[in-house]
Structure 1
């Protein structure tokens, strides 16, 4: 399973990219807005220079025609940019048209397997089920990943990939991999947490203490 970073913070992306683990980055209007004063196009193109993989840039139009117009503009910024659109009927119209133009899309805000199936049929490159937000409703988010994975695997025509979003903690990452997700997009703090373990810290301390005590 590939790992993406879910942020528009260039510093976080630069640090995680240096670990050699990133296959892509996802952004959204909220993440862009958090980075005060940044230019949307400038930050997306800077991210694309740091990470050699898909970079999601989200349209803000609510109608299909507007999404297509924005998507075509985003696609000129860098070959790795993919257009993020919401899972609505207007979003499906945009996905279908952009796919015909050879432009990849990320269909976001997916909360059931039927949405994921229709997004795939429309031509989505990836779909983004929000597992953390599904969990918040009292439903098992991982079951959603399993259902989508089973549906996609049962149909050879579907090439759409599953990008698990709304990741809350490191266990989510492992469970997504086991459930059949192709990608997990994570906040930077989750990647940091995943690399920490008290036994690792204790082992390093012991090794250093033994080295200093040699004699």
Structure 2
């Protein structure tokens, strides 16, 4: 299935554009804010923004959202479904974010649905309908799903309805390839969490940026996609340092926390482009066999880092969802 049109290829040299490193980065990658904090988004003016249960939990505790949460709770029927309240809160926060970014808002489906394609599809359709009731069309929303086999198949099915998805918790090239072959609009490979795992596994304090396993993973995915002509957008995520962000300058999109956006904005040094569409072969794209479910599951089982971090990410998002439910009871 054809993909929506991608942004025009940015200029080849960020340094020629001048300005701080954040401004230079905007010239070669689409910058996305990894936060639900409205004030931070207003400050840094990203193209898109992305949320997850952890970020929604933080956002719901900010003073600026207190009245919105209270208003929602008062409007819901007494003794109603807590999940329904949570869906409405997620969409209301996403609606507010859509008013201040010109591009997409990513909204995550409950993590406990990561292994149930049909329920994930149903939840995604509900979220889209709630957005439409708020006047936000599906062309502004990316539904976030964990990159399990079921999540990838759910994204493929939702594409038939014109609902684009952001597949998150990508830790391996096999996950990325399965997403691309399913026609997924965008993937979020996690840089920092990969690096964290290898630091612990190897008993080291860190890596030289050229050897950083998280950075190398995203570079490998990006290069593979360009070499094979995949249209799926690669959005590096989960950064631990500005140096990791800079090492992926030129990636299709980069979703960055407010703290690191601030650090980049304060740095007047020159930012070198590291990735470009020419990073992969542009002559006669290679073809590869379609990945089967068995191949996908075996590759994940054989990769202890990806297997562990995917499971951990799903559980942690679910735990933060549970904390959010408890928080809502206190209002």
Higher RCO (Cα < 8 Å, 6 or more apart): 2
In the other structure, the counterpart of 2:35 is: 7
Where do 4+ consecutive residues of structure 1 move more than 4 Å?
Answer: none
Kindly indicate which of the two structures has a greater share of residues assigned to strand.
1
Instruction: Tell me how far 1:73 sits from its aligned partner.
Output: 2.4
Give per-residue Cα distances to partners, 1:104-131, cap 9 Å, x unaligned. 1000001011100001111211111100
Which runs of structure 2 are paired with 1:47-126 in the superposition (5 Å)? 47-60=97-110, 61-62=113-114, 63-76=116-129, 77=131, 78-79=136-137, 80-126=140-186
Out of 33, 44, 55, the position equivalent to 1:31 is 55
In the superposition, relative to structure 1, how do residues 186 and 96 fare at CA in structure 2: closer, same or farther (>3 Å)? same
5+ residue gaps, structure 1 = 200-215
Q: Does the CA contact (< 8 Å) of 1:75 and 1:82 recur in 2?
A: no
**Distance across 2 between alignment mates of 1:148 and 1:109:** 14
Give per-residue Cα distances to partners, 1:175-203, cap 9 Å, x unaligned. 1125xx2111011011001122499xxxx
**Distance across 1 between alignment mates of 2:31 and 2:247:** 13
Give the paired residue count: 192
Instruction: Tell me how far 1:160 sits from its aligned partner.
Output: 0.2
TM-score by length of 1: 0.84
In the other structure, the counterpart of 1:145 is: 218
**Distance across 2 between alignment mates of 1:161 and 1:110:** 13
Q: Does the CA contact (< 8 Å) of 1:135 and 1:141 recur in 2?
A: yes
5+ residue gaps, structure 2 = 1-28, 70-88, 199-211, 270-331
Indicate the RMSD between aligned Cα atoms, in angstroms: 1.6
Which runs of structure 2 are paired with 1:176-191 in the superposition (5 Å)? 176-177=248-249, 181-191=251-261
Give per-residue Cα distances to partners, 1:53-73, cap 9 Å, x unaligned. 111000002311121112122
In the other structure, the counterpart of 1:212 is: none
In the other structure, the counterpart of 1:161 is: 233
Give per-residue Cα distances to partners, 1:24-54, cap 9 Å, x unaligned. 0010011101123642111100100110111
**Distance across 2 between alignment mates of 1:52 and 1:184:** 16
SS of residue paired to 1:85: strand
